[in-house]
Amino acid sequence: MTLKIENITKRFGEKIAVEALSMQVEPGQILGLIGQNGAGKTTTFRMILKFISADTGSISWNGGPITQEVKQKIGFLPEERGLYQKMTVEDQILYFAELHGMKRSDARIKLADWMKRLEVVGKPTDKVQTLSKGNAQKVQFIATLLHEPEFLILDEPFTGLDPVNTELLRNEIKRSRDNGAAVIFSNHNMSDVELLSDQLLMLKAGKTVLHGSVQAIRESYGRTRIYLESPVTDDEIKAIAGVRSVEKQSSGRLITISEAEIGRQIFQKVAENGYVQAFVQAPPSLDEIFRLEVATVDKEESHGGTL
């Protein structure tokens, strides 16, 4: 079941929230949607779910409109969490499960399994208000995935979670992907985006500035970062034309170069003694690319377009 978005635009008065957005998410694929606050990510999610309507363009699921029947096959985790604090975990989960067409008996069995898998500290009979923030977030995540949706929309799913719990949720998202679900998620942590995404789309002031696989996007910026461990001095490295900066990183140094070819000269320099402790030449990280695109004023000079 494929989600297809074609040339959608949404305005709020004079402000363009999303402009001419097109993308496609296939079954068994995860798309990371990134951008600063106000870039248009949540607006895009709301248009997909028909909470608001696009001014122009179209959104389809498996070639047809997103009807109420289709919505039952969607799992949506909003950025603004919405659990009922005075209900028990079980009553709340069973309520949401029934909305998606599940039998209470089936949902009750699955709930026990999910709470164990996500290591929720608490019992199904506990009221939500007694749970810690992290455990309450896990419960909402369970409510989103319990009915085994064919399409997942996750708006900042890892907010406030420690690395261990983030990994638990990340594994469940991958499990859904591997079971054939199409997934879109937004996140401000580029490491999470890089670990999870098959495809990436970045919005800036509502416009698409990056779209493609994570590796293709990184490679498009050139292999201009070198991690080096060597006794060669900073001054010797800086003396090579095209070296922009040398910074200490971990037990080595991070060297930024103007173009990939400079890496060959650096390697030849550090290999003069016949032994190189560590030399890794790589494209910029997704975090570095994100910062670069955010800082770019002239959008015409960005690496926009589909890769």
Domain end, chosen from 173, 196, 218, is at: 218
Query: Does some domain include residue 303?
Result: no
pLDDT digits over 30-43, tens only? 999 999 988 999 99
- Decide which of 172, 197, 218 is a domain's last residue: 218
* pLDDT, tens digit (0-9, with 9 covering 90-100), for 59-72: 999 999 999 999 99
Residues 94, 185 within the same domain: yes
Distance between CA 161 and CA 70 in Å, rounded?
Answer: 30
Q: 74 with 193, same domain?
A: yes
35 & 117 share domain: yes
Residue 246 structural domain: 223-282
Stretch 207-213: mean pLDDT, rounded?
A: 94
The pLDDT of 237-262, averaged and rounded, is 94
Considering the domain architecture, whether residues 234 and 258 belong to the same structural domain is answered as yes
pTM: predicted TM-score of the whole model, two decimal places: 0.85
Question: Where are the strands (E) in the chain, listed by range?
Answer: 3-12, 15-25, 29-34, 56-61, 74-77, 151-155, 182-186, 199-204, 207-212, 225-229, 243-249, 252-257, 278-282
- Long-range CB contacts for residues 78-82, cutoff 8 Å, separation at least 24: 78/155, 79/42, 79/155, 79/156, 79/159, 79/186, 81/136, 81/137, 81/140, 82/140
Q: Identify whether residues 164 and 88 lie together within a single domain.
A: yes
pLDDT of residue 84: 84
Closest CA to 201 of 2, 5, 1: 5
Total domain count for the chain? 2
Measured between alpha carbons, how far is 203 from 57 in angstroms, rounded to an integer?
Answer: 17
**Looking at beta carbons, which pairs linking 107-115 to residues 24 or more positions away fall under 8 Å?**
107/146, 107/147, 110/146, 111/142, 111/146, 114/142, 114/145, 114/146, 115/89, 115/142
Please give the structure tokens belonging to residue 68.
């109420």
At residue 298 the predicted structure's pLDDT band, cuts being 50, 70 and 90, is very low
Predicted confidence at residue 300, as pLDDT, reads 46
Q: Are 148 and 179 in contact (CB under 8 A)?
A: yes
How would residue 145 be classed by pLDDT, with cut points 50, 70 and 90?
very high
Could you give the percent of the chain with pLDDT greater than 90? 78
- pLDDT-derived band at 296 (thresholds 50, 70, 90) equals confident
Q: Cβ distance 38 to 48 under 8 Å?
A: no
Same domain, 188 and 246: no
Per-residue pLDDT of 154-192, as tens digits, reads 999 998 899 999 999 999 999 999 999 999 999 988 989
User: Do 73 and 145 sit in the same domain of this protein?
Assistant: yes
Same domain, 118 and 248: no
Query: What is the percent of the chain with per-residue pLDDT over 70, rounded to a whole number?
Result: 96
Q: Which pLDDT score, from 0 to 100, does residue 295 have?
A: 80
Residue 235 belongs to a domain with what CATH number? 3.30.70
Q: Looking at the structure, tell me whether residues 34 and 159 fall in a common domain.
A: yes
